Structure 1
Amino acid sequence: MRERNKTISTQQKALEINLDEGKYGTFVEIGAGQEVARQFFSAGAAAGTVAKTMSAYDMQISDVIYGKTGAYVSKERLEQMLSREFELLNDRLAETRPKNTQFFSYAATVTAKSFQQKSECHGWVGIQVQLYPEAPPSEIVLHVRMLDEDNHSQSEALGILGVNLLYGAFYYKDKPKWIIESLLDNIASKRLEIDLIHFSGPYFSEINNRLMNLHLVRSWCCRAVMFDTDGSSIVPGSALRKKDVMVMRGSYKPPTKVHLDMSNCGVEQFKNIGGLTGRGVLTVAEITMSELASDDEQDDASFLARVDLLVKLGYTVLISDYLRFFRLRSWIRNYTDNRIGIVISAHDFKPIFDEAFYDGLEGGILAAMGKLFSDDTHVYVYPAKINGELVSLDNVKVPEKVRHLLNHLVVNKSLIAIENYKEENLHILARELVKKLPHGRGDWEQCLPEGVAEEIIDKRLFGYRD
């Protein structure tokens, strides 16, 4: 296994593949030119690698070649392209190419910047590849957001990404995290985001795709990833588009009755403010990367356990590296123009009004509050028992010089007190409860929603022992 070379250029990667006579494939790119193929041609010796390039740009031609689809920029269309091209290549050349050949198909279907394009620029990119000669194909699929402001720059970034993906698949195949970490090699920050990755096929059969998507955030390929109520990775834009969204932040180690009551009460009051779309409220449980700071097997197991328990309770799960709430709100606003609600506990209220929390931000706390509470965003404050005292929005303590700011937000209903909460649950603290798990069964079980304690006991989660 080679070491990961972090300094190798895009041209060097393309040339290394071109000079390996065993690697041979097709490039089909729709929506942003043929930038990946161009990288291999310009590197030299491409005749050893490139069997065919194509851009079935016309929708009717695309349908004739690959079949009908519900959307042209979709995972479904990408899968059709990859499978059809790999099948053709294998059928036509398997008998005539050398036995050491590893066939591949690269495909991309994107909506890039144009004079008519007003919505988000994004796309699907992927490869089917034999990772040893005569092997059945394995697959890597990505969803990409393109953040450059012009078509040429977006195409250029996609070209580099395609080379990185193909190089990573061939040379880092036994280190899937290296594949992820190399995807944005030679691409300046903030040009691309990769917010979903999926490995499949026989060579990648043992890969846990949820952990790979978590690694997208850890390796700065994106700022957040999402999992649906089945626990599967999803594209955030698809999940949030045109939805009213209620987000609850927590550690969820484990999720307790307080978490459930917080979201239920928050959603109920959120619905009562009016102006919702009728599409329903998407309830999201968010975990920040500060809760998953290190990168070892114990943290990975804890992460998977939290996701499993939260989706069991019906939540969509968001993992983000946004420490400040206003940045989380801005990220959600990328995908929906509808109302946003954030529910927090009085336990977590203090940093929001701590001026030191916004050190380094131009405009400080005033700028942060302006960004947090703009565009139909409301924050719901759930009470807590702190040192034996019931603390709610009505009596929460903040520094005197920002008291007027708190009052302003309350009067204007930007900050809203949670009502009809279950006071009998306020003694429950997840961080205290988890300390009891290594000692076996006990009264902690009564602090958890139905089914959660059984799951912890059966799977021995969070350090539980009999």
Structure 2
Amino acid sequence: MSNIFADDLVLQGDRVTDQKQALSDKTLKINLNKNIYGSFSEIGAGQETARHFFRAGAASRTIAKAMSAYDKQFSDAIYTTEPDGRYVTENRLHKMLDHEVQLLEERLDHTENPNRIYFSYANTVATIDFAKKFKGHGWVGIRFQNEPQGEFNEIILHIQFKENDVLLQQRTLGTLGVNLIYGAFYQYHDPKKLIYNLYDHLDKDQLEIDTINFSGPAFKNVDNRLMSLFLVKNGMADAVMFGPNGQNILPANTLFRKNVLLLRGSFRPVTIVNINMYQKSLNQFLSKNQLSIDKTAVIFEITLNNLLALGEVDEQDFLDRAELLCALGHTVMISNFKEYFKAVDYIWNYSQEKIALTIGIPSLIEIFDAKHYTNLPGGLFEGLGRLFKHGLEIYAYPFLNEKEEVITAENIELHDKTLKPIYNYFKEQDQIIDIENFELKNLKIFSHKVLKKIQENDDSWESDVPETVATLLKENKLFRKKESL
């Protein structure tokens, strides 16, 4: 493969790392590379990214075309219409990239510039509304080659604006666009560094990146689930989701107008108890509220706090958990929500339908422990108010104590007995519900005990997990390898 970057002109005085380079340095470095050539298509917030390249100078060496189809009829004529009539969608962004890349290949002659590599950058965004009620969001992406006439690679991300001013959001978008284009060509070999440097000259209180997916030959070894974890671990997102296929998905799309059943756990590994909790609580949730399964999202949540329980995040350990949940066909959420009420607040931002939480009795006891709410001005009362204010229903799975007694939501004992009247209030409101028809023999199964059996080569663990999980655990030797993030 030829070195397509051999003709880069050295920027005099540039002695800083990529992370600290000024935007003008980044754009000029790209502009002065005669092999990088492409188009810009920006909808919704001005031509903010292209503007940086024009201002840096020598833009004609980089920009084949820059456009913005603001009028809906013009946009539809160019990129066709969307079934749902929306414009700020991932599907719209893909259509933009498809169209623009096709034009590059049709209209530009490779024989004149055999070493040239093409790219198309696009974004479709909605900035803050006049009433400042909705801060805005957008899809941003780049499709690019990393060798002449090679296959295209793609980086797609979704952002949530946090600033309260249109001009500030436009500037933020422009900066992000420059960082993305620069990263695509100069940092694609290190996706984590690329993601980290998307915030070069930006702050995390300016925007949140809640979805990112890498694809193409340059990223054939990239696991997008790890990229999700990286976003949360570095504070770039409060929560991210990925589907059974391992691809990152937009939380807003998954939760929008859906009833939600949330299951939080370590899932290290998934046991028959986890599946029993899920199936029984889902059936009760649907029946009690007369809901349909097609309008209900089931989310398995792993918190960053849980992943850090053993110290640093173990990347392979995380992938092992994800592999099992994906194999069972579940949607997974990785979050930094230590408290349950934060997870419920997050879901409520996207859906004002019914929300339910499935947990074990020990976790229910902890919810009513004041020590978990010392950071709130209103303490435990504020925490409980925020947790239950949206009509949350908690489905509690029984627990077998040391005396072999079955503990349920009916005979539960709290750490602070004076809180029992408050607990009883939520119980009487039918917001705390026992999971019924559980199997007594399964109450002795715990993930940490199953994990210990696996690591000690005690084959009795196989009866404690679903058959699919057992097969994957054995075939892939999960939870046996160690590799730090």
Structure 2 length normalisation: TM-score?
0.87
2:23, 2:178 within 8 Å by CA — same for their partners in 1?
yes
- Structure 2: distance between partners of 1:210 and 1:440: 28
Question: For 2:20, what is the secondary structure of its paired residue?
Answer: coil
State the AA in 2 paired with 1:437: I
Aligned-residue offset at 1:96: 7.0
- Structure 2: distance between partners of 1:141 and 1:3: 28
Which residue pairs with 1:31 in the alignment? 44
Aligned-residue offset at 1:123: 2.1
Q: Measured at CA, do residues 195 and 260 of structure 1 come closer, stay the same or move farther in structure 2, by a change above 3 Å?
A: same
Question: For 2:270, what is the secondary structure of its paired residue?
Answer: coil
Equivalent position to 1:304, from 319, 342, 347: 319
Which residue pairs with 1:253 in the alignment? 268
Which residue pairs with 2:375 in the alignment? 360
Question: What are the within-5 Å matches in structure 2 for residues 34-433 of structure 1?
Answer: 34-70=47-83, 71-95=86-110, 98-115=113-130, 121-274=136-289, 276=291, 279-293=294-308, 299-388=314-403, 389-393=405-409, 394-433=411-450
Question: For 1:26, what is the secondary structure of its paired residue?
Answer: strand
Aligned-residue offset at 1:238: 0.8
Which is further off, 240-249 or 33-42? Answer: 33-42
**TM-superposition CA deviations, 1:81-135 (whole Å, max 9, x none):** 2232233234433447644433221101122333499767322111111223443
- Structure 2: distance between partners of 1:69 and 1:132: 33
Q: Which runs of 5+ in 1 are unaligned?
A: none
- Structure 1: distance between partners of 2:424 and 2:311: 44
Aligned-residue offset at 1:432: 1.0
- Structure 1: distance between partners of 2:51 and 2:331: 40
- Structure 1: distance between partners of 2:53 and 2:447: 53
2:307, 2:313 within 8 Å by CA — same for their partners in 1?
no
Question: For 1:25, what is the secondary structure of its paired residue?
Answer: strand
**TM-superposition CA deviations, 1:225-251 (whole Å, max 9, x none):** 112234432111111111100111111
1:276, 1:338 within 8 Å by CA — same for their partners in 2?
no
Percent sequence identity is 39
* Matching of residue 443 in structure 1 with residue 453 in structure 2: no
Name the count of aligned residue pairs. 464
Question: For 2:142, what is the secondary structure of its paired residue?
Answer: strand
Aligned-residue offset at 1:428: 0.4
Q: Measured at CA, do residues 348 and 296 of structure 1 come closer, stay the same or move farther in structure 2, by a change above 3 Å?
A: closer
- Structure 1: distance between partners of 2:137 and 2:310: 29
Which residue pairs with 1:460 in the alignment? 477
Question: For 2:315, what is the secondary structure of its paired residue?
Answer: helix
- Structure 1: distance between partners of 2:145 and 2:418: 64
2:120, 2:142 within 8 Å by CA — same for their partners in 1?
yes
Question: For 2:479, what is the secondary structure of its paired residue?
Answer: helix
State the AA in 1 paired with 2:70: Y
Which is further off, 406-415 or 259-268? Answer: 406-415
State the AA in 2 paired with 1:429: F
1:213, 1:233 within 8 Å by CA — same for their partners in 2?
yes
How well do the aligned residues superpose, as a CA RMSD in angstroms?
2.8
- Structure 2: distance between partners of 1:406 and 1:8: 56
Equivalent position to 1:19, from 32, 37, 41: 32
1:338, 1:376 within 8 Å by CA — same for their partners in 2?
no
State the AA in 1 paired with 2:406: L
Which is further off, 318-327 or 356-365? Answer: 356-365
Aligned-residue offset at 1:77: 2.2
State the AA in 2 paired with 1:326: F
Q: Which runs of 5+ in 2 are unaligned?
A: 6-14
